[in-house]
């Protein structure tokens, strides 16, 4: 893995950690409901919900 790829991967991981630490997540100024997080199986680590999607490249902050 090249230095550039390592740097990109590190930045992506830091961004994911920052998103998971947020109390309220918004998309287009709408709060995303995170109350429907599946309950973990007994003995497993708690689950976290992550928004994985695609935003249009021409999307503005206003949208």
Q: What's the pLDDT tens digit per position in 2-61? A: 988 899 999 998 888 887 777 777 778 888 776 666 666 666 666 666 766 767 777 776
Query: Which letter does DSSP use for residue 41 in this model?
Result: P
| pLDDT for position 60 | 73
Tell if the pTM clears 0.75, that is, is over it: no
CA distance 4 to 2: 5
CA distance 29 to 40: 29
| pLDDT for position 24 | 78
| pLDDT for position 62 | 66
Which has more confidence, 1 or 4? 4
Query: Is residue 12 a contact partner of residue 21, using CB atoms and an 8 Å limit?
Result: no
């Amino acid at each position: 893995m090249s230095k550039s790829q390592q740097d990109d991967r590190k930045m992506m991981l830091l961004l994911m950690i920052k998103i998971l630490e947020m109390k309220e997540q918004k998309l287009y100024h709408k709060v995303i409901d995170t109350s429907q997080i599946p309950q973990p199986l007994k003995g497993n680590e708690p689950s976290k919900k992550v928004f994985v999607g695609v935003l249009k490249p021409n999307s503005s902050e206003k949208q």
